[in-house]
């Protein structure tokens, strides 16, 4: 399929995980890609950040698709940097059709034990970083008048309450608030705004020792194998997590003409977690 021939997609968090997967999937379907990523550490996370090598690997994978692309090492906390990446992409490709603010972090902790730095960094990246991405990309999209699609990355934590993730959940509820407001603002410009809301996704954010230990506090030095039953217990379908491809399938569909009348939708990609009946 080539649903996105001639389209340009702007993706953040492109060095690995969901962001990389989205970029490659769009490229495989004919899109040009503008990708940004910090490609460096974030001080408050419990897992290693993406690296410059990761960003280079994304470039190699995009090269294999034959797609045109531009990649930038850029922090979503840096509006001027995002604006430079947008300007470079506009010169190269002429316009932006799709925006995927995918960059995000997580960390764990009881609300009353979080440090101020944990709170502020979470909000700066997961919520303000989304707004900055939109602030950098939307003026050109609106002025061009060709319509478009925006898919924000929410979470089941942006739909239901989850313990020990209050700072993360607050940002993801905020993301879904943006979806509702912006769907109204941008409809006159034929720009649709939706979100995907995954449960656990098999990326470094989830597949790490600290998360395994969090899910299995009863097992010292818990491994992935130890944690799988705990992960699975949250889901209606008998799997511990979804894959990045599962999320990309939803994102590509929301951006395609097949979903041309969908806007303001907060789509769970969650194996039934948000509707699970207690004891099911």
Distance CA 94, CA 34 (A): 12
Which one-letter DSSP state was computed for residue 67? Answer: -
The 3-state DSSP class for residue 68 equals coil
Q: For residue 38, what are the contacts with CB-CB under 8 A and spacing of at least 6?
A: 15, 49, 50, 73, 74, 75, 76, 103
Say whether 121 sits in a helix, a strand or coil. helix
Structure tokens at 98: 């799709």
The residue whose two tokens read 């690995």 is 16
Q: How many CA atoms lie within 13 A of 182 on its CB side?
A: 24
Can you give the three-state secondary structure of 144-172, one letter per residue? Answer: HCCCEEEEEECCHHHCCCCCCCHHHHHHH
The angle that helices 52-65 and 17-28 make with each other, rounded to 10 degrees, is 20
Whether 158 contacts 173, CB under 8 Å: yes
Q: Which two tokens stand for residue 194?
A: 């939706």
Catalytic annotation present for 212: no
The one catalytic residue among 69, 168, 212, 234: 168
- Round to whole Å and give the CA distance between 11 and 133: 9
Residue 145 has φ and ψ, to the nearest 5°, of 75, 20
Question: Helix (H) and strand (E) counts for the chain?
Answer: 9, 7
The catalytic site residues sit at 168
């Amino acid at each position: 399929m080539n649903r996105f021939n001639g389209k340009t997609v702007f993706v953040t968090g492109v060095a690995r995980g969901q962001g990389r997967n989205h970029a490659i999937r769009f490229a495989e379907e004919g899109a040009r890609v503008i990708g940004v990523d910090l490609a460096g550490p974030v001080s408050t996370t419990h897992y290693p950040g993406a690296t410059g090598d990761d960003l280079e690997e994304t470039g190699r994978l995009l090269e294999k698709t034959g797609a045109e692309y531009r990649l930038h090492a850029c922090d979503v906390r840096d509006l001027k940097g995002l604006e430079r990446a947008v300007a470079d992409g506009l010169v190269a490709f002429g316009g932006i059709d799709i925006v995927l603010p995918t960059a995000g972090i997580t960390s764990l902790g009881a609300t009353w034990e979080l440090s101020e730095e944990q709170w502020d960094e979470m909000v700066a990246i997961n919520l303000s970083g989304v707004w900055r991405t939109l602030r950098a990309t939307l003026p050109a999209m609106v002025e061009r008048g060709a319509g478009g699609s925006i898919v924000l990355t929410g979470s089941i934590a942006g739909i239901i309450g989850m313990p020990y993730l209050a700072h993360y959940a607050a940002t993801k509820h905020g993301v879904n608030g943006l979806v509702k407001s912006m769907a109204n603002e941008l409809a006159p410009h034929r720009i649709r705004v939706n979100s995907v809301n995954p449960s656990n996704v098999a990326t470094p954010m989830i597949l790490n020792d600290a998360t395994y230990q969090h899910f299995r506090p009863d097992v010292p030095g818990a491994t992935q194998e130890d944690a799988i039953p705990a992960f699975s217990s949250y889901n209606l379908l008998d799997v511990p997590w979804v894959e990045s491809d599962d999320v990309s399938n939803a994102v590509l569909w929301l951006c395609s003409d097949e979903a041309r009348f969908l806007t303001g939708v907060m789509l769970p990609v969650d194996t039934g977690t948000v509707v699970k009946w207690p004891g099911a």
